Amino acid sequence: MKSSLDKLERRLGYTFKNPDLAVLALTHRSYGGKNNERLEFLGDSIVNFLIAEDLYQRFPEAREGQLSRLRALMVRGRTLAELAREFELGDFLLLGSGELKSGGFRRESILADVVEALLGAIYLDSGMDTCRERVQAWFSSRLATLSVTDQHNKDPKTRLQEFLQSQQQKLPEYELLSIEGKAHAQTFKVSCLIDGQKPTEGEGSSRRIAEQQSARRALVALGVEVEE
């Protein structure tokens, strides 16, 4: 375990004073009694705070809703899982036999949780300043590409399309569900369909407005943006 821990610490850029904390952070509930759920709870709050702090300083003119959207993009499960894969954390996980057989070391939710648990462990081991250093280092390339202005000026359909393209997913399809009312006061209802996701609906005085609303709700459902 010592050589394995050394390899993990090199990837994380942090050496644990108390190695037991690192082991606990890597222990999934399927492995046994003591597991990383409490550390994950702690780390979730820490990463949300530190990313919010960075965004607050990085974008001094941004509104609360814009900052919330950017934070959601950074701390959502998919982003944390991507980070875990870059560190190859799946190689270090302690999983029960059932999770091992079902490929738990590749599961997005498990990988995201272990990143949060490791941050919780680092906090207990060395405090918030060290956590801040690690978060800034781990997220630096992603934070550097963020732009409040660009995202704010793009409509929801464009933002959704660009997000799905960045994840190498199929583009959304929009289905007209109904048109109600007289010709001069019609209400259009549209559904936004994305592979693997529950459809989201929007409505408005034109099909375009309804599509934009359904796309906006899809972004919220995906965890990319938050409701204002």
Residues 113, 15 within the same domain: yes
- Indicate whether 151 pLDDT > 60: no
Per-residue model confidence as pLDDT tens digits over 153-209? 578 898 888 888 877 889 999 999 999 988 778 899 999 999 999 999 999 988 999
Number of domains in the chain: 2
DSSP string of the chain? -HHHHHHHHHHHT---SSHHHHHHHTB-TTT-SS-SHHHHHHHHHHHHHHHHHHHHHH-TT--HHHHHHHHHHHHSHHHHHHHHHHTTGGGT-B--HHHHHTTGGG-HHHHHHHHHHHHHHHHHHH-HHHHHHHHHHHHHHHHHT--HHHHHHS-HHHHHHHHHHHTT-PPPEEEEEEEES-GGG-EEEEEEE-TTS--EEEEESSHHHHHHHHHHHHHHHTTSS---
Domain that holds residue 209: 154-221
Residues 106, 158 within the same domain: no
Candidate list 6, 9, 91, 116, residue with the active-site label: 116
Of 84, 116, 146, the position where a domain reaches its end is 146
Per-residue model confidence as pLDDT tens digits over 1-56? 567 889 999 999 999 999 999 999 999 888 877 999 999 999 999 999 999 999 99
Of 146, 177, 199, the position where a domain reaches its end is 146
Residues 121, 203 within the same domain: no
So what's the pLDDT on residue 162? 82
Q: Considering the domain boundaries, does residue 14 fall inside one?
A: yes
Task: Flag whether 116 is marked binding.
Answer: yes
Q: Considering the domain boundaries, does residue 44 fall inside one?
A: yes
Find the range with the poorest average confidence among 23-37, 58-72, 78-92.
58-72
Candidate list 44, 54, 211, 225, residue with the active-site label: 44
Share of the chain above pLDDT 70, in %: 95
Rounded average pLDDT over 82-106: 83
Residues 124, 207 within the same domain: no
So what's the pLDDT on residue 38? 96
So what's the pLDDT on residue 1? 59
Of 146, 176, 204, the position where a domain reaches its end is 146
So what's the pLDDT on residue 69? 80
So what's the pLDDT on residue 150? 57
- Indicate whether 70 pLDDT > 90: no
Q: Considering the domain boundaries, does residue 227 fall inside one?
A: no
So what's the pLDDT on residue 207? 92
Residues 120, 164 within the same domain: no
Told to judge if 116 belongs to the known catalytic residues of this protein, a careful annotator would answer yes
Higher-scoring residue by pLDDT: 42, 69:
42
Average pLDDT value for the chain? 89
Q: Considering the domain boundaries, does residue 42 fall inside one?
A: yes
CATH number of the CATH domain containing 134: 1.10.1520.10
So what's the pLDDT on residue 109? 87
Residues 140, 158 within the same domain: no
Task: Flag whether 40 is marked binding.
Answer: yes
Rounded average pLDDT over 140-146: 88
Residues 26, 69 within the same domain: yes
Rounded average pLDDT over 200-227: 89
Find the range with the poorest average confidence among 7-11, 74-78, 221-225.
221-225
Task: Flag whether 113 is marked binding.
Answer: yes
